[in-house]
Every structure is written in C-alpha cells, then in structure tokens.
C-alpha cells in the first residue's frame, strides 16, 4: 500500500484536530473500508493511542476490525487479539470456489474456513459477510453457504445481495454474455431462505441485512440505523451529528496533503427538516423496531406524522407494512421491498402535500 505510513500519521492528526467533535463517551469503534488488517502492530497501536488520548472510550466499547480471509493468518489474529480489538468482521462472501472466482476475490474457500476457525481461538465476537443473488448460484448452494456458517457457530451474519459495480470484471462478463445478469427473483428467493434459516438457528434479523444471536448484534450497525451521531476518519469517511453530514475527500494524496498542513479535507451539508425526516424513514424502516410514530411527531411535528400515515396506507392495506403499538414496521411480505416502500414514504421536494412551514 503506497504511502501507508503517511496516511496513518494523517489519520492520527485528523483525530487530534477533531477531538472536540465527540463530547460523549465513545461506545463503538469500527476499522473498515479499504483493508485495515494491513496495518502493522505498531501502526495499529499508534492509532489506538491517539483515540484513547483524545476521546473518552467506554470500558466495554465494541471495537471491530474488518478483514479479508487471506489477510488473517493465525499470527495476524494473535496480534489483533492482543490489541483493543474485540470483534472481527470477516469478508468471507462465499464458501464455494466458483462464487469467489466469479467475484474476483483474492481468497479461496479453504482460506475462508481457516480464517474463521483460527479467529474462534482468540475471539468470541465474530461476524462474517455473505453474498447472495450471485449469477448461477442455485438455491441449494446458497443454503449450503448458510449451513457452513451455522455449523461453525458464527454469532453474526451480514448478508448482502450482489450488486454489479461499474467498470468491474463482473460487469464486463455480463455485457459479453459470459455470465448471466443478476436475477431479481432469484435474489428474492435467496433472501426468503435466509430469513427462514437464520430464524431456525436462533439469529435475530434486527436490520434488513444483519442477523445476530441475542447479545451479538453489531453495536456499530445499531448506532447507524438508529440515527446516533458518528465520526468517520480517513479518506472518503462520512460523519453525522444529527443535524449535518460531513465527508472527507476521497483522494489519498489530497487527504494527506491537507492534513500535513493541519487542514481538515472535508465538506459539510446541513440537513433540512425534509432530509432528516427522509433519513429517519430510510434507516428505521430497515430495523426490527421500525418507525416510531411518537418519535416522528416529536421530532418533526404532527403534519409529518399525518403525511407518513397517508403515504403508508396502501402498503398497510396490501399487508406490506404493519402498524402495531404506535410503530410502523415492514411485514415478512414487504421485507424484500423495504427500500422501495421507504421511498414511497419520503417527502419529495416538489410534493404538493409537503407539510413544511
């Protein structure tokens, strides 16, 4: 990784410059994006020293590090276990070679299994990522992927539908007809199976893509989906304070150049009332707790609550939404459609019924 040392020094400098950004005790720390597992033991110690110097961190804070299986040698796992990291998120994606090759993953199926088994020697709190909706992945292979996770007794799963990113090998293969396009109906069938299997094995679907045994829900995920403020540090990182959103420049060189002169390389957007309402709807509807009508009324006013219920009426009548104990949640029937349902509840800029002052 080019300029890794410079980048780490600038991360630490950003932490110093933003030490007033979080007044409350830090409850979760998440090393994600890129490949944080490439940090050496000394580099990771350097970052942690800065965090603990400039912020108050809870004694039982959840501290997660993302890693790919091919980066998790047993020696690396031991190193992480001797650091403040207490949770690993492993990007397995699939336990089958054909899937990993199609997605151009650097690891193989054996490395995926070995990384989990080695991690379990040192960590109790482990999550793995799995991908469904992969072209030519039959339902029984997806079920076997899940069975591997359950047999390994992994306490948390993050499961995502495959998305074809622009300018990737997969996109090229699909355009050339070498690989069939993503099948929405197959993705839905995979997701329905996922709901059945995780429920059977005792994992709670607390957010659309996340499933955890009781007590192993990701506190970092929950903080995001429940709208708590967060600070993101590093290139491309986003932050949110409840009223505004900031984001750092994505270019590593520009990020480093700015921090070397003690300048924060970020832009800021103040969220309107409509933006905050839409974000609340989008995030809460994906959770098992749903949209709390009292919160909508308390935060945005009675007109917003009335508007929300009006927009939800057709989905309630069709059984895609459920209204129970003053909470609006997505039913099993509507779960795979939850993002589309949320967009129907949004307040659009040109909405004639816009309940703004």
Please say if the pLDDT value at position 351 is more than 60.
no
Same domain flag for 302 and 208: no
> Residue 302 falls within a domain, yes or no?
yes
* Residue reference for tokens 């054909």: 98
> Residue 15 falls within a domain, yes or no?
no
> Residue 264 falls within a domain, yes or no?
no
Please say if the pLDDT value at position 8 is more than 50.
yes
Q: What is the average per-residue pLDDT within 63-68?
A: 97
Same domain flag for 159 and 50: yes
Same domain flag for 141 and 285: no
Which of 209, 225, 241 finishes a domain? 225
What band does 1 get if pLDDT is binned at 50, 70 and 90?
low
Q: What is the average per-residue pLDDT within 300-316?
A: 97
Same domain flag for 120 and 47: yes
- pLDDT value for 352: 45
Same domain flag for 316 and 173: no
Q: What is the CATH number of the domain that holds 178?
A: 3.30.750.200
Please say if the pLDDT value at position 147 is more than 70.
yes
Same domain flag for 65 and 149: yes
Which of 185, 207, 225 finishes a domain? 225
Same domain flag for 137 and 40: yes
Please say if the pLDDT value at position 214 is more than 80.
yes
What band does 100 get if pLDDT is binned at 50, 70 and 90?
very high
Tell me which residue of 219, 239, 233, 230 sits closest to 50, measured CA to CA.
233
- Considering the chain, what percentage of its residues have pLDDT values greater than 70? 96
Please say if the pLDDT value at position 338 is more than 70.
yes
Q: What is the average per-residue pLDDT within 129-151?
A: 96
Same domain flag for 220 and 282: no
What band does 3 get if pLDDT is binned at 50, 70 and 90?
confident
Query: Could you give the CA distance from residue 96 to residue 94 in angstroms, rounded to a whole number?
Result: 5
Same domain flag for 57 and 179: yes
Please say if the pLDDT value at position 313 is more than 70.
yes
Q: How far is CA 303 from CA 128, 220, 328, 341, in A?
A: 42, 32, 16, 20
> Residue 257 falls within a domain, yes or no?
no
Tell me which residue of 265, 286, 295, 299 sits closest to 342, measured CA to CA.
286
Same domain flag for 138 and 214: yes
Under 8 Å between Cβ of 56 and 26: yes
- pLDDT value for 163: 84
Query: 160 or 136: which carries more pLDDT confidence?
Result: 160
> Residue 239 falls within a domain, yes or no?
no
- pLDDT value for 323: 98
Q: What is the pTM of this model?
A: 0.92
Q: What is the average per-residue pLDDT within 236-261?
A: 95
Please say if the pLDDT value at position 293 is more than 80.
yes
> Residue 1 falls within a domain, yes or no?
no
Three-state SS annotation for the chain: CCCHHHHHHHHHHHHHHCCCCCCCCEEEEEECCCCHHHCCHHHHHHHHHHHHHHCCEEEEEEEEEEECHHHCCHHHHHHHHCCCCCEEEEEEECCCHHHHHHCCCCCCHHHHHHHHHHHCCCCCEEEEEEEECCCCCCHHHHHHHHHHHHHCCCCEEEEEECCCCCCCHHHHHHHCCCCCCCCHHHHHHHHHHHHHHHHHCCCEEEECCEEECCCCCCHHHHHHHCCCCECCCCCCCEEECCCEEEEECCCHHHHHHHHHCCCCCEEEEECCHHHHHHHHHHHHHCECCCEEHHHHHHHHCHHHHHHHHHHHHHHHHCCCEEEECCEEEECCCCHHHHHHHHHHHCCCCCCCCCCCC
Mean pLDDT of all residues belonging to the chain? 93
Q: What is the average per-residue pLDDT within 237-242?
A: 94
What band does 175 get if pLDDT is binned at 50, 70 and 90?
confident
Q: What is the CATH number of the domain that holds 317?
A: 1.10.10.920
Q: What is the average per-residue pLDDT within 333-342?
A: 94
Same domain flag for 128 and 216: yes
> Residue 238 falls within a domain, yes or no?
no
Query: Could you give the CA distance from residue 302 to residue 293 in angstroms, rounded to a whole number?
Result: 10
Query: Could you give the CA distance from residue 149 to residue 155 in angstroms, rounded to a whole number?
Result: 9
Which of 188, 203, 225 finishes a domain? 225
Query: Could you give the CA distance from residue 112 to residue 103 in angstroms, rounded to a whole number?
Result: 14
Domain extent, residue 316, equals: 273-345
Query: Could you give the CA distance from residue 235 to residue 256 in angstroms, rounded to a whole number?
Result: 9
Total structural domains within the chain: 2
Helix 338-345 vs helix 302-317: crossing angle, to nearest 10: 140
Residues with Cβ within 8 Å of 54's Cβ and at least 6 positions away in sequence, in order, are: 15, 16, 19
> Residue 265 falls within a domain, yes or no?
no
Under 8 Å between Cβ of 308 and 291: yes
- Considering the chain, what percentage of its residues have pLDDT values greater than 90? 85
Same domain flag for 218 and 280: no
- pLDDT value for 2: 64
């Amino acid at each position: 990784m080019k300029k890794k040392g410079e980048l780490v020094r600038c991360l630490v400098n950003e932490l110093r410059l933003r030490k007033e950004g979080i007044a409350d005790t830090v409850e979760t720390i998440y090393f994600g994006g890129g490949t944080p597992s490439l940090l050496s033991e000394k580099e990771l110690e350097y970052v942690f020293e800065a965090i603990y110097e400039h912020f108050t961190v809870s004694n039982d804070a959840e501290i997660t590090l993302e890693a790919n299986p091919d980066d998790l040698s047993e020696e690396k796992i031991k190193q992480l276990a001797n650091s403040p990291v207490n949770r690993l998120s492993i990007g397995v994606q699939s336990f089958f070679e054909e899937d990993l090759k199609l997605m151009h993953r650097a690891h193989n199926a054996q490395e995926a299994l070995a990384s989990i088994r080695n991690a379990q020697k040192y960590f109790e709190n482990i999550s793995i990522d799995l991908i469904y909706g992969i072209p030519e992945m039959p339902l029984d292979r997806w079920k076997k992927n899940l069975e591997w996770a359950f047999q390994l007794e992994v306490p948390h799963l993050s499961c995502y539908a495959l998305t074809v990113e622009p300018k990737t090998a997969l996109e090229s293969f699909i355009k050339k007809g070498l690989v069939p396009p993503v099948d929405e109906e197959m993705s839905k069938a995979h997701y329905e199976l996922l709901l059945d299997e995780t429920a059977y094995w005792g994992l709670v679907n607390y957010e659309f893509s996340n499933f955890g045994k009781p007590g192993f829900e990701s506190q970092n995920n929950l903080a995001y989906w429940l709208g708590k403020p967060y600070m993101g540090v590093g290139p491309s990182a986003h932050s949110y304070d409840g009223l505004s959103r900031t984001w750092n420049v994505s270019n590593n060189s520009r990020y480093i150049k700015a921090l070397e002169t003690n300048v924060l390389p970020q832009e800021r957007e103040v969220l309107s009332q409509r933006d905050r309402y839409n974000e609340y709807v989008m995030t809460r509807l994906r959770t098992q707790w749903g949209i709390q009508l009292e919160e909508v009324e308390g935060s945005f006013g009675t007109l917003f609550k009335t508007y929300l219920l009006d927009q939800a009426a057709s989905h309630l009548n069709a059984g895609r939404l459920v209204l129970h104990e003053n909470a609006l949640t997505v039913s099993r029937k509507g779960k795979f459609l939850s993002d589309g349902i949320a967009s129907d509840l949004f307040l659009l800029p040109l909405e004639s019924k816009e309940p703004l002052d």
